[in-house]
Amino acid sequence: MFQALADPSRRGMIERLSHGPASVSELAAPLAMSLPAVVQHLQLLEASGLVKTQKIGRVRSCVLDATAMSQAERWIHQRRTGWERRLDRLGDYLNQTRDDDQIKGDKS
């Protein structure tokens, strides 16, 4: 999933899809590459679960999958907050020992 987010063209496609569903050619329009290249990116996005597609007639409609997006979001969030809680506890500890020092009458 992060692999899929790693490429700027694919992030561009996701950005576009965050504004609403789009066909393959609509996704391709702003990108400076051939259609097959876009399709390959799209396949990766679909394999990662970030995008769902459905073919109606001859046009394939693509939409963002909010569930997969929030899954990636959560992974980062949990690592970040895990680390921040540690930082906070360290801060508390430092404040605690400083207070102790003051109570014991040490010079600050």
Residues that bind its own copies (CB under 8 A): 2-3, 5-6, 11, 14-15, 17-20, 64, 66, 69-70, 72-73, 76-80, 82-84, 86-87
In the block, residue with structure tokens 């679960």: 49
Measured CA to CA, the distance from residue 21 to residue 67 in angstroms comes to: 16
Instruction: Pick the closer one to DNA by CB: 19 or 107.
Output: 19
Say if residues 38 and 1 touch (Cβ distance below 8 Å): no
The encoded tokens of residue 53 equal 């597609």
Contact mark string toward DNA, 51..90, x via CB under 7 A: ----xxxxxx------------------------------
To the nearest 10°, report the CA torsion of 19, 36, 46, 17: 0
Site for DNA in 23-42 (CB under 7 A): 23-25, 32-37, 39-42
